Structure 1
Amino acid sequence: MATYTVRLLAKEPVAQGTMAFHLEKPAGFEFRAGQAFEVILPGGAEGEDGRHAFSIVSAPHEGELVFATRMRDSKFKRALGALPLGASLDIDGPFGSLILHKKAERPGVLIAGGIGITPFMSMLRSAAEQRREQILVLLYSNRRPEDTAFLAELQALARRHPGLRLMATMTDMAHSTQAWDGATGYIDSAFVRRALQGLAAPIFYVSGPPALVEAMRNALEQAGVDEDDVRSEEFFGY
């Protein structure tokens, strides 16, 4: 890994309580879709309050680096949210092994909870740009539509690319102010079985908080999925 100094170009809300941060892409920074970097804030290079790992939302072909996070009330998140446009910060990376397999004949089933969507955004944007002849199925769980980061972009990607199937579900529509005509409830073994209909020998990717990753691994096991075909990444402190 290497450390680069970059500028903050833009920041924007991508869901209720979730912000995306756009950074300039330094010369020589190369990564694979699904990888991450550490963000090191000015004056906070040491200790957990000064640096945090984030999956890269942008795809390798894009001209900027983007990450997104829930804006929780922590010292790091407060300092991150207060950064003015044009501010300098450091990134250290890339790293991570949650990378889409190369055998296009095997579908990929991506399972995300909440902000765990971030590495999959890079994968899906990259696959769309490359026009990969591979079936990718995204199972995406959130409490409400307003909490669902990148929902409109994912719906648009699914409309444009027949190889991408979006199966989003909401678990708390009773407290939503937005309409939703899709699935509701949690991703369980029955939900997984529906997603697997017509798929031959898929490989599974799970991303989200530790409790969700564990629950999804159990649901996949109950659905008859071989654990050797499951890859996962746990997000701490998001």
Structure 2
Amino acid sequence: MATLPQPVFINRSRSFNKMEDLDAFQVKVIATHEVAQDTLAVVLEKPAGFDYEAGQFVSVTIPGFTPTDEDDGERMLSLASAPHEPHLLLAMRMRDSAFKRHIAQLRPGDALTISPAMGDFVLPQDWQRPLVMVAGGIGITPFLGMLRHLGQRAAVAPLPRPVTLLYGNRNPASAAFREELQALRQTLPGCRVVHVFSEVPADAGAGAGGDDGSVFSGLITPELIRQVLPDCRDCHFFVVGPDVMVATLQDHLDACEVPPEQVTLEFFAGY
């Protein structure tokens, strides 16, 4: 029996046993700032010899952190910065855990330990199809790094294919980096940003963050995908977020008859 095409699954489970198994980098915090409701960005120095591709992630630990049964003090976080930028950028939803409480108290000059960059959730080398990025919540972070990278490339050559970001959140206040994403309409020709807010009325319009039909209320559904992307069956979809969200989107793309080989999925687990 022939093997049927399948989506590309990328699960960011640990590919190593301990941080000590890698040539880890100790880096200093440059700044922290809120980028959405209950969402903190951390700007880090970029150590010498640290190379990565847009979309990759690092494992982050806190020097001197005492692990417990509830919290081992380690998180895998996407780099929201682009490789050409002088600093590294992480962002995370703030939850009531020992790790996140420590992160919330970071000040310039404090130290974190990061692994080398890991992961295969990166831009395709040769674009044959329009690219669609689908993010839920803090799943925006790898896409922000990709879009910043594409913005730098666009200064030299136009995008080889159109790019659409489909970004789901509860409301505008919970949409991380919303102002920067809106500015992409001017700075990155060929890129469209579409917000979907589950708690925003359908008639919210421009007040929700867009004035060009780029804001929808409700959830990301097959009907909405087809409305936003009438040519969705010809697109390559990259989807990232919590397990339930990613699994649901896979079902939606099946319903839209997007061929499985044109779907790349990454699961955020335990972030």
> Under TM normalisation by the shorter chain, which class is it?
over 0.9
Aligned partner (choices 47, 53, 56) of residue 35 of structure 1: 56
| Distance in 2 between residues matched to 1:158 and 1:235, nearest whole Å | 27
Contact 2:127 2:161 in 1 (8 A): yes
CA displacement 1:89-110 (0-9 Å, x = unmatched): 2101210111111223421110
| Distance in 1 between residues matched to 2:111 and 2:57, nearest whole Å | 19
Find the structure with the greater CA-based Rg.
2
1:93–1:45 Cα change, 3 Å: farther
Contact 1:24 1:65 in 2 (8 A): yes
TM-score after normalising by structure 2: 0.82
Once the 2 structures are TM-superposed, how far is the Cα of residue 44 of structure 1 from its aligned partner? 2.6
Q: Which residue of 1 aligns with 2:75?
A: 52
Contact 1:109 1:139 in 2 (8 A): yes
Aligned partner (choices 14, 19, 24) of residue 40 of structure 2: 19
Once the 2 structures are TM-superposed, how far is the Cα of residue 233 of structure 1 from its aligned partner? 1.0
Contact 1:213 1:234 in 2 (8 A): yes
Give structure 2 stretches of 5+ with no counterpart.
Answer: 1-21
Percent identity among equivalent residues?
39
Once the 2 structures are TM-superposed, how far is the Cα of residue 200 of structure 1 from its aligned partner? 7.4
| Distance in 2 between residues matched to 1:45 and 1:157, nearest whole Å | 41
Matches within 5 A, 1:99-118: 99-118=122-141
Q: Which residue of 2 aligns with 1:140?
A: 167
| Distance in 2 between residues matched to 1:24 and 1:200, nearest whole Å | 41
Give structure 1 stretches of 5+ with no counterpart.
Answer: none
Once the 2 structures are TM-superposed, how far is the Cα of residue 186 of structure 1 from its aligned partner? 0.6
| Distance in 1 between residues matched to 2:35 and 2:72, nearest whole Å | 24
Determine which structure has greater relative contact order: mean sequence separation of CA pairs < 8 Å that are 6+ residues apart, divided by chain length: 2
Partner SS state of residue 270, structure 2:
coil
Provide the aligned C-alpha RMSD in A: 1.9
Contact 1:44 1:51 in 2 (8 A): no
| Distance in 2 between residues matched to 1:56 and 1:143, nearest whole Å | 23
Partner SS state of residue 234, structure 2:
coil
Q: Which residue of 2 aligns with 1:168?
A: 195
| Distance in 1 between residues matched to 2:252 and 2:233, nearest whole Å | 19
Letter in 1 for 2:182: Q
Q: Which residue of 1 aligns with 2:178?
A: 151
Show structure 1 runs of 4+ deviating over 3 A. 45-48
Once the 2 structures are TM-superposed, how far is the Cα of residue 45 of structure 1 from its aligned partner? 7.7
Contact 2:234 2:258 in 1 (8 A): no
| Distance in 2 between residues matched to 1:69 and 1:86, nearest whole Å | 19
Answer yes or no: is 1:179 the counterpart of 2:207. Answer: yes
Letter in 1 for 2:43: H
Counting matched residue pairs gives 236
Partner SS state of residue 8, structure 1:
strand
Partner SS state of residue 142, structure 2:
helix
Contact 2:200 2:218 in 1 (8 A): no
Contact 1:49 1:75 in 2 (8 A): no
| Distance in 2 between residues matched to 1:213 and 1:237, nearest whole Å | 14
Q: Which residue of 2 aligns with 1:219?
A: 252
1:31–1:46 Cα change, 3 Å: farther
Once the 2 structures are TM-superposed, how far is the Cα of residue 15 of structure 1 from its aligned partner? 0.1
| Distance in 1 between residues matched to 2:84 and 2:95, nearest whole Å | 30
Answer yes or no: is 1:79 the counterpart of 2:102. Answer: yes
CA displacement 1:44-76 (0-9 Å, x = unmatched): 386753211100000000000000000111111
Deviates more, 1:198-207 or 1:228-237: 198-207
Q: Which residue of 1 aligns with 2:31?
A: 10
Deviates more, 1:150-159 or 1:189-198: 189-198
